Chains A and B, each alone.
Chain A
């Protein structure tokens, strides 16, 4: 489902953020991505979401080479890839409901259907009662869960999560990961960047480790 072939990402100011990355993730796999701060986890995820392009090498998602994807097909690609951002990326002047509904609104889903699916997604992250609040009125962890609901609501076949539980307490983190596991069982491919080593070792999923932009460890499928 996701394949990196000798991928480099160089930032002019910094040098190589990613070097010679090679791996493949099958459909329905749930994979953790770990590594120290600045190792390149977010950069790797951004390449998959096509927020950036690699300096060298190829990224393939669902058999399609992102390097040759015409620009007008970027939106189409983004709808296939749900993204949970480290900094949430919520719209501060819209309600939680509207924030979560955004992926459905831009694809032209019928309003009735939107209401149903947004509430289902909010229910999954335990925020059903806050749908009328704005992000400002939510705690960091709640905002994070809104971001998760927004990534889930379009039912994308690929889910990328960048520190999705960074602001959550252990119990809540575990619940979110259990939610992710349920998605895995229905065939969603997940790639989750996280620092939460205790959860990573508990949950026993395949883990990729980055160090200074290099892939230093791949546990393989469990």
Chain B
């Protein structure tokens, strides 16, 4: 037993509740310490932590994947918007020169942004390139295809009704045979995309609630597991905030790790699909590639995960940590 160490005089006023402004260093230290400690605790119980993180990850990945899908379809549709031109098929007797003259006249129209002449020879060549028609084409001696003008309207005239008016005006031209406008399927696609996004939103909302419940339940179990420790900490003067802090951090970790898992899952899915998509796109002479989660998307996904984890743990903590007894 030590006789050399003498007790120091007590100083009743020494100990105060830590407050950020009073002792910022301590405040920061405590938070940093909790941050590291809670992560260490997750690593110490890898199985339940991993399960929770995985469930959160999948819950976040589903709506995120739908979102990515709809964004990609939109981008694809955006690419087609450019070709959402009116294809004006000219009478067969209009030759290349007359067609070029007409194209020049159309370029002066205010409704028209751009005009492309696809000559009958070009069209035929393209046909050959596509393959599968060689036999049929070999039997043809005379090119049966008309000259076509691809008329691109200005953005102001790109909506369906205005476009219809442009189509009318083009059809009134003496050189015109018929005009084809592919807007209906675009409208349908637009509606489908809107639907997909609403579904993603609803699913996100539902699964978000699910994440809250999962985190809440995991934290609840942890609070129950650590009842004795909590009680003892209260006995030696821990504040309610001090006791809550590690649980809130744990919830935030779950959310963040869940968000990372979701990011990983979505990115993996895109990698797997990329090959198939580019093969499909090449069949359509398109360079289209799937876009992954961008910086902002990734950030908001991680942020959303963390926020959900924090709210979920907050709910559990509010419900199961009543603070030092007696009330």
Interface size on A, as a range, is 35 or more
List residues of chain B with CB within 8 A of the CB of A50: 326
Contact A76 B18 (CB under 8 A): no
Label chain B's interface by main secondary structure.
Answer: loop
Contact A186 B10 (CB under 8 A): yes
Chain A, residues 50-93, CB within 8 Å of chain B (1/0): the string is 11110000000010000000011011111110010000011100
A175–B26 alpha-carbon span in the complex (Å)? 36
A111–B97 alpha-carbon span in the complex (Å)? 88
List residues of chain A with CB within 8 A of the CB of B236: 78-79, 102-103, 106, 150, 154
Q: B294 at interface (Cβ–Cβ under 8 A)?
A: no
Chain A, residues 161-196, CB within 8 Å of chain B (1/0): the string is 000000000001001000100110011100000000
Question: At the interface with chain A, which of B66-74, B175-183, B207-215, B226-234?
Answer: B226-234
Interface size on B, as a range, is 35 or more
Q: A17 at interface (Cβ–Cβ under 8 A)?
A: no
Contact A78 B327 (CB under 8 A): no
Q: B325 at interface (Cβ–Cβ under 8 A)?
A: yes
Which of B2, B10, B323 meets A156, CB within 8 Å?
B10
Residue in B1, B23, B237, B239 whose Cβ sees the most chain A Cβ within 10 Å = B237
Q: B319 at interface (Cβ–Cβ under 8 A)?
A: no
List residues of chain B with CB within 8 A of the CB of A179: 1, 7
Q: A126 at interface (Cβ–Cβ under 8 A)?
A: yes
Q: A107 at interface (Cβ–Cβ under 8 A)?
A: yes
Contact A186 B15 (CB under 8 A): no
List residues of chain B with CB within 8 A of the CB of A108: 18, 23, 26-27, 29-30
A154–B238 alpha-carbon span in the complex (Å)? 12
Beyond A110-B29, A126-B1, whether A188 also contacts B10 by CB under 8 A is: yes
Q: A124 at interface (Cβ–Cβ under 8 A)?
A: yes
List residues of chain B with CB within 8 A of the CB of A51: 235, 325-326
Chain A, residues 99-138, CB within 8 Å of chain B (1/0): the string is 0001100111011000000001001111010000000000
Cβ-closest chain A residue relative to B233: A106
List residues of chain B with CB within 8 A of the CB of A74: 323-324
A83–B234 alpha-carbon span in the complex (Å)? 12
Q: B188 at interface (Cβ–Cβ under 8 A)?
A: no
Beyond A51-B325, A108-B23, A154-B15, whether A75 also contacts B6 by CB under 8 A is: no
Q: B280 at interface (Cβ–Cβ under 8 A)?
A: no
Contact B238 A124 (CB under 8 A): no
A64–B11 alpha-carbon span in the complex (Å)? 17
Cβ-closest chain A residue relative to B232: A89
A172–B18 alpha-carbon span in the complex (Å)? 37
Beyond A75-B234, A78-B234, whether A106 also contacts B242 by CB under 8 A is: yes
Cβ-closest chain B residue relative to A52: B326
List residues of chain B with CB within 8 A of the CB of A186: 6-10
Q: Chain B nearest CB: distance from A168 CB in Å?
A: 11
List residues of chain B with CB within 8 A of the CB of A123: 2, 5
Cβ-closest chain A residue relative to B229: A91
Residue in A62, A78, A120 whose Cβ sees the most chain B Cβ within 10 Å = A78
Which of A71, A125, A175 meets B327, CB within 8 Å?
A71
Q: Chain A nearest CB: distance from B312 CB in Å?
A: 25
Which of B5, B235, B242 meets A120, CB within 8 Å?
B5
Contact B237 A79 (CB under 8 A): yes
Cβ-closest chain A residue relative to B231: A89
Contact B7 A126 (CB under 8 A): no
Cβ-closest chain B residue relative to A152: B7
Q: B125 at interface (Cβ–Cβ under 8 A)?
A: no
Q: A155 at interface (Cβ–Cβ under 8 A)?
A: yes
Interface residues of B in 1-52 (CB under 8 A from A): 1-2, 5-12, 14-18, 23, 26-27, 29-30
Cβ-closest chain A residue relative to B26: A108
A104–B228 alpha-carbon span in the complex (Å)? 18
A168–B27 alpha-carbon span in the complex (Å)? 40
Q: B240 at interface (Cβ–Cβ under 8 A)?
A: yes
Q: A35 at interface (Cβ–Cβ under 8 A)?
A: no
A4–B218 alpha-carbon span in the complex (Å)? 44
Interface residues of B in 304-327 (CB under 8 A from A): 323-327
Cβ-closest chain B residue relative to A93: B229
Q: A40 at interface (Cβ–Cβ under 8 A)?
A: no
List residues of chain A with CB within 8 A of the CB of B242: 75, 106
Q: Chain B nearest CB: distance from A129 CB in Å?
A: 12
A-B contact pairs, 5 of them (CB 8 A): A51-B325, A89-B235, A106-B236, A157-B11, A182-B7
Other than the given A78-B234, A179-B7, 12 more pairs (CB < 8 A) read: A71-B324, A72-B240, A76-B15, A79-B236, A103-B236, A106-B239, A107-B18, A124-B1, A125-B1, A155-B7, A157-B12, A186-B10
